[in-house]
Structures are given as C-alpha cells and as structure tokens.
Structure 1
Amino acid sequence: MTEPIPSNGSTTRTLDALIIGAGVAGLYQLHQLRQLDLKVRVYDAASDVGGTWYWNRYPGAKFDSEAYIYQYLFDKSLYTDWTWSSKFPGQPEIERWMHYVTDRLALRPDIQFNTRITRAEWDDSRGRWRVSTDTGEQIDTQYLITCAGMLSAPMEKVFEGQESFAGRIFHTGRWPHQPLDLREQRVGVVGIGATGIQVIQTIADQVKQLKVFIRTPQYVLPMKNPSYGEREAAAYKARFEELRDTLPHSFTGFEYDFTRQWATDTPEQRRAWLEEVHADGSLKLWLASYAEMFFDEQISEEISEFVREKMRQRLKDPRLCELLIPQDYGFGTHRVPLETNYLEVYHRPNVEAVSVKANPIARIVPQGIQLADGTVHELDVIVLATGFDAGTGALTRIDIRGRGGRSLRDDWFTDIRTTMGLAKHGYPNLLTTAVPLAPSAALCNMTTCLQQQTEWITGLVGHMRRHGKRVVEPTAAAEAAWVRHHDETANATLISKTTSWYVGSNVPGKPRRVLSYTGGVGDYKRRCDEVARDGYPGFEMH
C-alpha cells in the first residue's frame, strides 16, 4: 500500500502515471497506458483537449502539414472515419478532430482540465513523484510523463510598458475564445514568423489600418490548399497503410523525402526540380528538394536565391524586397512558413511595413508602440506574434525537482541536455516528449514524432512492469553520449550557425544549442528501437 502524501487539507490522489498535457501526445499516451491497465490521469491548464490547437486560435491558424499525415496511425478506422475538408484545414476543424479522437477513445473520464501542474518533486526514498497543482491538489505518482508541447510557453512579456497600453494586447498563443471584431481598428502585429504571417494575411482586409513591425525577414513558400470532396478523401484514405509504414521512417515525418542529389543533377535538372517542388504549394521545397542545402553554403545560397527570386517577382517594390527578403541566412535554416497572398498584403493602402531592425521597439506606451528613435505608432490592438520558449519552456515554468532537490529549470538554464529527448539524468521516472534533442523539438511532422515517442515510453513502462522494475533513470554516461552525437550531427549543419529559436536565441539567457535532433526522424526511430530491442542499455532500472 502506497503511503499517502501529507495533504495539509488538500486533496490527495494516487496514480501509476500522471501525464501533463491533453494535446496530440497526451491523448495518445493516455490511450496506450490505459491499455496497460495503469491508473493514469492527464492534467491540462486548458478547459478542453487540443493542446496547440486549443490555444492557437488566432485569425488564420491552420495546418502546414498535410491534414492526412497529421493523424494518428495506430487505428485504421479512427483514421478513415474522419474526413478533412481540405489539404491544410484551419484551427476550428482541427480542434473538432481532437474532440473526435478524445470521444471516440472515451478519454475524457481520465482528463482533468483547468488545472496547472505547478511543482513536481522526486521522493527517492519511495521511488515516486509528489506533484502539486494550482488548485491545491496533491498527486502521488510513479511516473511523470510530460506531453506539454514544444511550442506551448509563449513569450508574452517581451516589452517594457505592456501593461500601460490603453488598447487591447494579445499573444497569438493565448488568443481569446470569443470572436474579436477588428473592423475600424488600428492593429499592430509584432513578428513575421509562421504565426505572424497567418495573422497578417488573414486580417489585412478586415482592419482599418495594419502596421507590421519587421525585424527578421522570412523566406516564405506559397500554400496551395485544395478542398477535398468525396473522391479526394477516398484517395488519401486508401493510402493509410502506405502512410503508416513510411512516415515514421522518412527524414522529417512527412510523406515526401529527399530523393535527389545536387551533385548528380545538371543545373537544368536542379532548376526544373526546384520549380516543381515550389509549385507543389507545400513544404516540399524545404523538406524534399536537396538535403545538401543544410550543409553546403554554396548550395544553400543557390537555393536561397531561387526563393528570393520568387519573392521578388511578387513584391516588386525595392523597399519591400529589402525589408521582407532575407539576405543574411540561408533558406531552411529557420522555420519556413507557408502563406497565401501574404506578400501581396504589403501592396494594400491600409498596410504599412515598419522596420525595427535598426530602430527597434523600445517600449509599449498607452497610445501604442514606441521605437528607439521616439516615434510612436498609435494603435488600438497589438498582436504579439513573438514566439515561444521552445522545447524547454513548458517544463522550466514548472518547479520540477529531481534527485537531491536538483532543479530542471536550473539544469536547463546551465546546459540543455536530455537522453534522446525521452528522459533526463537525475530525474528518475520522468519521461518526456517534445523536449530538446529529439526531432519532435522542431524538425518533424509532429504527430509522426509524438506517436513514436509515446509508443517508446509505453514500451519502456511495459518492459518494467513485466520485469518487476519500478524506477528507471538514464545514466550520466548514456546522456553524455547522446548529447555528443546530437551536437556532432547538429553542428555539421548550417542550422547551428543561424540565429533563431531553433537554437534558443529568442530567449534571454537560454543556453545555445540546436534544440532539435537533425539526424532525421527515421534515424532517430531506428536508434530508439535499438535501445528498446537491446533491453534499454544506458537506462538503470530497479
């Protein structure tokens, strides 16, 4: 019988596993652990399921992975009984799909909403975690499994004076549920990453005035988003087995992969291939053109110039080209956004592009945004598309204490280290998804990678139960070996030489390291499978 945690009057619950997060990973992890007959519960700060697709409900939010690959692949009927309306559907439809999965698998009884995990402390004497929530509940659990997402800790407090603004201010990752009427409003958008672009292209024709504050220009690719009728839906559903068997083994978890080699193609063949993948209207140019662009600066420059040329043809205006087309980093070393008529937005008379590279935002004032030179842009609404503390932020905002009281927050602000992105030395029975040093930290179709990681975790838990083991922890040596391999792989790429959230440079004080494993989704899966097949070497169990 497990000794209960002293509750000091608060509720105490005893579990085999506590899962943080009711998004893509958390829902599937719950389903799997229930099949092992574990007593398991999911906690989420939101009021319903969805994870990313609960919080990111800003105007224009949609997939940029094809809908038919952003699905669970463990159950054919679950897959085929849902029909998407288009290739890249929007947030409301994605959220409905998440509800469909939750209800189809009857997961709701084991999910607790409106509850934030605030602290988790490992009790070495008992081999269990003591977990606290913001509602005063205390949970005693054997396993703590984090499915909190890699882009779920928004960078909200980024400018001095935000609280003084007389209008309304919203971060895209915390968009209100009630509809916002932006008509006759002067709106400022800060940030032109993938999220900012979706907002800008969606609201430009709705608002009285739109000012876009631009620091780092982005390479963009045009999205083609055909609607799906019965014939199109039947066609992708017929590919279920093919997708199930191939996606986990591709380089990025998408249906397409790198199949051409730069050196063996003639200049004419290269141009023809780039034109073809650009015309596909997807991320194919980034994720399936020439892998050499991530390693060779000359090849990177040629492909980058191809994309610049496509952007110049649409922008025309030399000033806009200078503001919006990157010159100082290579295509694909940042996150590449898909867009629909985004560049054309800047030709509208009610839209102004404001460069803040040499004249940065100094503060928010009651009237709007003040730049370093004293200029004030008067606004009614400010949209902060300022990104996230990626990979680490969701967990460093929780007070997680491992062996001897060591702090995960302190550890990761010293050096970002994990064992395959699945566990952390010093933190027994802490099993993780979507954290650094795995493809799921950035470079993957998320459902592909999150399914793989949760299945691996389930396999480990099942192995321990079969062998009578109650505690597991990666060794320091195994973690060091994985970090070395990760760094050797990442540092060979141009990604490691580019300043972006991919290396944590958007968060003050965050150690610089490529957050995502760059060796490929298929290679990562193979390595994880080998560890499981060989009895989990590098993981101590007792």
Structure 2
Amino acid sequence: MVDANETMSVNDKSSDVIDVIIIGAGFSGLYMLYRLRQQGFSARILEAGDGVGGTWYWNRYPGARCDIESLQYSYSFSEELQREWKWSEVFAPQSEILSYANYVADKFDLRKDIQLGTHVTAAIFDDNHSRWEIQTKCGNHLLTKFCIMATGCLSAARIPNIKGLDHFKGHYYHTGQWPHEGVNFSGHRVAVIGTGSSGIQSIPLIAEQASHLYVLQRTPNFSIPSRNRPLNSEDRQWWQSNYPEYRRKVLKTRGGFLVKDMNPCTAHELTLDEQLKTCETYWQLGGLNFLMSFTDLLTDKKVNDTVADFVRNKIRQVVKDPAVADSLSPSGYAIGAKRLCVDTNYYQTFNRDNVTLVDLRNGSIDEITETGIRIKDKIYEVDNIVFATGFDAMTGPLLKIDIRGRSGKKLRDKWAEGPRSYLGIMIADFPNLFTITGPGSPSVLTNMIPTIEQHVDWIAECLNYIRVHNYNTIEPILEAENAWVNHVNEVSNMTLYPTVQSWYTGANIEGKPRIFMPYAGGLNVYRQKCKEIADNGYQGFTFANSPSILSVTTS
C-alpha cells in the first residue's frame, strides 16, 4: 500500500498542458480521476489536505458519521470493490469512511496522479489558448484544457465573527477543521456553539468527557434517532442478494437511497390515526428514512405539521425538564426543509447533570472574554469552545478560489446575487469548467455518492464527445442557463424548502444572497433531464473548434 501522505512532485512552473485538472480528492475527485484514466485522458488531482477523503478527511469531531446507511453510501462502479469492502455498522463512522476512501485510492492506483498539500488559489481562463491556468498557494502554475471543481458542498468551514474571540485564553475548535490527533475534554468546561448536524453528533460524546458542557443553541433542529448498530449477516445478505437491481432502484428514487420493505404513500390516503402509526413505524426505522414517511411531507404544510408535532412529542417524552424540552423543540418551520439531523442519544444528553442548554433566543452572545462567553450580564466560564457552526455551503468552496472566465470575468461577480449555472455542472462565460454537485443540482438533498457518480459519468462522457468531435471548448449558452435557474426556482417553490431560512438558502452566512441553491426535483428526475440533454447533442451548450470561432450551438 502507498503511504496516504505521499505526494507528487511538480515543477514551480510547467509548460505542459494536462488534459484535465481536478480540484479536490474527496469522493467526487477520486471517481472523476478513475473515469478519466479509463478514457485515456491525462489528469491530475490537486488537494489542499495531506490525504484523500474530502469531507471525511477534515471532519474528525467526536461522533462524526454518515447519515446515509453505509451499504448505500458507497461507490457502485466496481462490483469487485463492493464485494471486497465490509462495513462494520449501519451508519459508518468517519474513520471507517476515510479508510474506505484510502482503500479506493490504493486499489485503483490513483495516488500517482494526486498532488496533496496543494491549496488552489486561482483558476484563470486564457481566451487566446482556450485553456485554464491553475495557481496554487505555494507558487505553482499549471496549465490544463479542462478544469473540474470537485471541491464539495460542505468544505468552507465558518467560524462566526464574535467580539473578543482573539482574546480567549482557552482553546477553540471548528468541527469541520478538527485536530487529527483528537481532543481530550476530560475535566474541562466546554461550550458547544451550534446545534446542527455536527453539534448534534458531537454533543453526547463531549458530555461524557467534560466536567460541564454548555450547549449554546440559536435555533433548535429536528433530529431523528439513527438506530445505529453493527451490521449483521442479514443486512449484508439483503443488499448483496440483488445488488445490481438495488443500485438501479436507487437511481429511480428522489433521494438516492432505498428504504427496505417500505412503500410510502401520500398522507391524504390515511386517517390521522393511520398517519401517526406510519410516523411511529418510520421513527423506529430511524435516520433519514423518516423523511420517506409520506410522499407529500415536503409539499403539504398540513401533513408536515402533523409529522412535526409527532417529533416534538417524542422530544418531550425523552427530555425530563419541560422547559428544556420546549427549548429543544423546533417550531415555526417545516420539518425536513432544513437538513434533517440524525443522532445517537442527543436528546437524552440533556438529562445529564453536567449539561446546560443555553437558549440564545433569550439573548445572543455579546462577546467572548478571556475565560468564557458573555450573554447579557452572565458569563459562562469555559476552558474550550467548539464551533459547530457549519459551512458556507455549496458556493463557498468555489468562491474561495479566484475563478475567472472569458475576458477575465470573475465568478464572484457573476454570483454576487446568487449562483447561476446550467444543470449545476457548467457556467456561462466559463468554458471548459465543470462543477461536480454544484448549485442547481440535487447534491445535498440526496445521498451524495450516486449523485456524484451521475455527475462524474456525465462529465466523462461529455469530455469524450468533445474529443471525438475535435472541439476545443464547451460552455452553456446564457439562455439555457437562465432557463435552468428559473426551473430550479419553480421546482423549489412547489415545496416547503424556500419557506425556511437555512444553509440551503445561504441564511447562515451574513450578506450571502438568500436563494434556494439545490435542485429539489429529485435525483431521478434530474438524471433523466441530464440524459435527454446529452442525447440531444448537449442541448443548451455551445462548442468551439478554435479559440475564436464558434462551431456548434445546440438549443
């Protein structure tokens, strides 16, 4: 096996033009490299971290694990890989998913084309030569015909700008940039700021170590027990008994995952009593399966209110202090319209004597002092602060890079009022630049692995089409991009998603445009639309044979 920290060497400046440069060595980057190798393209991954794995390389906080069942959160492109790898739990922990990513990199000999420890700062399109110049923090300049952004949707960690943080004498951490050696909170007073997914996963484990834990909550989130357990032979037999068929079925679902032996219906087909029984069935299944309880959960407010009330009652049954239970009970927004959280003993943690919930709706953080956190006249003395404050989602990882397209047009300027793309894959005026699971695609509303595979396969086939037809460039026409943006908005407005301020809409980032960014039509519908566009000669894209002469426009 190759050392996971082994990196390629590259000259500071290179005149060689690589066919494709991929930014990011997470699950999308690894599979993209594999597919390009298959098709005979020269390709290289540039990765900021010192190892592969993307989000699973960076997010090592206590309790970090996937919220999609392990057997389905895995690549489908290799039958041999599927047979060889054995997941240990229903929901794999971060360490196991990272081991899986490293196993894939080694099995398919991907490391020789991965340059680790390379922070990309800029991607500049050269109009005269129809190629991209990729610039890195360490001074490298690399040339490539095609640039593929595999930067992930949740990789731009966000620490809020709180007065006094730089004067805090203790230690502070962000869940998305966790120290690789881990953190021991034994005997320490700890504050966790934020109760989204990473907060909800880490709080129970931090509470077991800390002498006292303060949980600072601005907005309570809905969370469903994961029912995690070791995988048994029956689980594996079910999945392996008809593996190809299950994989095909996954692609026909909205969310990119299957719920075993369940056939959801609309709530209107049932009486209220039957609806509550159905909620209980899915509650016992646990995890994101709960979202599949009714097909109209995210389109009918009355149905959504019934399900939300069911979950609030469950919270009150678990949390012993009625006032704390009320503070933990979400209200005023639709369940599932924010990312649903999945937990192990989250609500039970607030029954511990060493855990205090601080409801920031009663007063926000005024400042961080040398020894704690001040809210109005009260100071919470702490030794450590954990920021579980999420990410600048979807657009953040792309806008951190200075991306410039035709005539030096900046992506930051184009997206100043919100992201615009065609299919979430390409952007008008940015030729030969692809984004995997970009804004305008299903991405974060689905199981990311089949969504990634669909994007990678589509891009790989597109690049082959360009090569076969001897084109130099491809980009969307503006009319197609505008039509897709309108379609994304129309579909989201048919749901309850836009009724909620969430990171789906950029609401967690001050000054960020409030636009619902993913495509809510479902993975199944989206795949079909992408296929039809490709089958029609890449309808909505324009191709060029030379840097200055457009040859084909399909609309």
Q: Same fold (TM over 0.5)?
A: yes
State the Cα distance separating 1:493 from its structure 2 match: 1.4
Partner of residue 130 from structure 2, selected from 127, 130, 144: 127
TM score, norm. by length of structure 1: 0.96
Contact 2:239–2:246 (Cα < 8 Å) also in 1: no
**Which one-letter code corresponds to 1:125 in the other structure?**
N
1:224 and 2:224 correspond:
no
Aligned to 1:452: 454
Aligned residue type for 1:449: T
Decide whether the 8 Å contact of 2:64 with 2:198 is kept in 1.
yes
Aligned equivalent of 2:299, options 288, 295, 300: 295
Aligned: 1:262 with 2:239: no
**Distance (Å, rounded) in 2 between the aligned partners of 1:513 and 1:495:** 11
**1:411 CA displacement:** 1.7
- Structure 2 CA distance for partners of 1:9 and 1:394, relative to 1, 3 Å: closer
Structure 2 counterpart SS, 1:511: coil
Aligned residue number for residue 79 of structure 2? 76
Give 2:315's aligned residue.
Answer: 311
Partner of 1:520: 522
Question: In the alignment, residue 530 of structure 1 is paired with which amino acid?
Answer: E
Map residues 127-146 of structure 1 onto 2, 5 A cutoff. Answer: 127-146=130-149
In structure 2, C-alpha distance between the alignment counterparts of 1:130 and 1:266, rounded to whole Å: 61
User: Is contact 2:160–2:389 with CA below 8 Å preserved after alignment?
Assistant: no
Contact 1:19–1:41 (Cα < 8 Å) also in 2: yes
Residue 226 (structure 1) shift: 2.0
User: Is the 2:440–2:517 contact (alpha carbons within 8 Å) kept by the matching residues of 1?
Assistant: yes
Please give the secondary structure, in 1, of the residue aligned with 2:296: helix
Alignment of 1:48-447 (within 5 A): 48-256=51-259, 259-286=264-291, 288-371=292-375, 373-440=376-443, 442-447=444-449
Q: Distance in 2 between matches of 1:95 and 1:212?
A: 28
Distance in 1 (CA, whole Å) between partners of 2:12 and 2:330 is 58
Deviation per residue, 1:154-213 (Å, 9 max, x gap): 102432222211011100000001122110111100000011011101121111110000
Q: Report the Cα distance in structure 2 between the residues aligned to 1:232 and 1:494, rounded to whole angstroms.
A: 34
- Show CA shifts across 1:274-301 (max 9, x none): 1111110221111x11132212221111
SS in 1 for 2:445: coil
SS at match of 1:404: helix
Name the % identity: 38
Tell me the distance in 1 between the aligned counterparts of 2:486 and 2:266.
Answer: 28
Name the Cα RMSD after superposition: 1.5
Give the drift of 1:110.
Answer: 0.3
| Matched residue, 1:501 | 503
- Deviations for 1:469-523, whole angstroms, at most 9, x for unmatched residues? 1200000000011011110000121110111111111111111111111011100
Please give the alpha-carbon distance, in whole angstroms, between the structure 1 residues aligned to 2:17 and 2:372.
50
State the one-letter code of the partner of 1:158.
N
Question: Is 2:494 the partner of 1:489?
Answer: no
CA contact under 8 A between 1:315 and 1:344: conserved in structure 2?
A: yes
Distance 1:505 1:76, change over 3 A: same
Structure 2 portions without partners, runs of 5+: 1-9, 545-555
| Secondary structure in 2 matching 1:169 | strand
1:38–1:231 CA distance, 2 compared to 1 (3 A): same
Give the 3-state SS of the residue equivalent to 2:362 in structure 1.
Answer: coil
Deviations 1:191-241 (A, max 9, x none): 000110111011211111100001101111111112124454344233421
**CA deviations over 1:18-52 (Å, ceiling 9, x no partner):** 00100010000000011111110001110010001
Change (3 A) 1:258 1:364: farther
More displaced stretch, 250-259 vs 126-135: 250-259
Secondary structure, in 3 states, of the residue corresponding to 2:228? coil
> How far 1:400 sits from its partner (Å)?
0.4
Give, as a single letter, the amino acid of the residue that structure 2 aligns with 1:64: D
SS at 1:514 equivalent: coil
In structure 2, the partner of 1:4 is none
> Contact 1:504–1:513 at 8 Å: present in 2 too?
yes
| Native 8 Å contact 1:12 1:137 kept in 2 | no
Give the residue type in structure 1 aligned to 2:284. Answer: A
Match of 1:467 among 453, 464, 469: 469
Q: What residue in structure 2 maps to residue 30 of structure 1? A: 33
Residues 370/11 of structure 1: CA separation in 2 closer, same or farther (3 Å cut): farther
Which stretches in structure 1 are left out of the alignment for 5+ residues? 1-6
Which deviates further from its counterpart, 224-233 or 425-434? 224-233
- In structure 2, C-alpha distance between the alignment counterparts of 1:213 and 1:536, rounded to whole Å: 49
Letter in 2 for 1:227: P
Once residues 391 and 295 of structure 2 are traced to their aligned partners in structure 1, the CA distance between those partners, rounded to angstroms, is 27
Q: Distance in 2 between matches of 1:529 and 1:413?
A: 30
Distance 1:363 1:448 in 2: 43
Task: Call closer, same or farther: CA 1:123–1:231 in 2, change over 3 Å.
Answer: same
1:323-344 deviation digits (Å, cap 9, x = unpaired): 1001111211111111111111
Whole-angstrom distance in 2 between the partners of 1:324 and 1:461: 49
Code of the residue aligned with 2:336 in structure 1: it is G
Deviation for aligned residue 1:91:
0.8
CA distance in 2, matches of 1:88, 1:128: 42
Task: Report the secondary structure of 2:145's partner residue.
Answer: strand
Deviation at 1:8, TM superposition (A): 12
Question: Which amino acid in structure 1 is aligned with residue 524 of structure 2?
Answer: G
Taking the aligned partners of 2:234 and 2:309, their CA distance within structure 1 comes to: 38
The one-letter amino acid paired with 1:174 is: Q
Match of 1:3 in 2: none
Deviation digits for residues 258-284 of structure 1, max 9, x if unmatched? 730122222232222111111102211
The 8 Å contact of residues 397 and 409 in structure 1, kept in 2 or not, is answered as no
Give distance in 1, aligned partners of 2:263 and 2:18: 44
Change (3 A) 1:9 1:228: closer
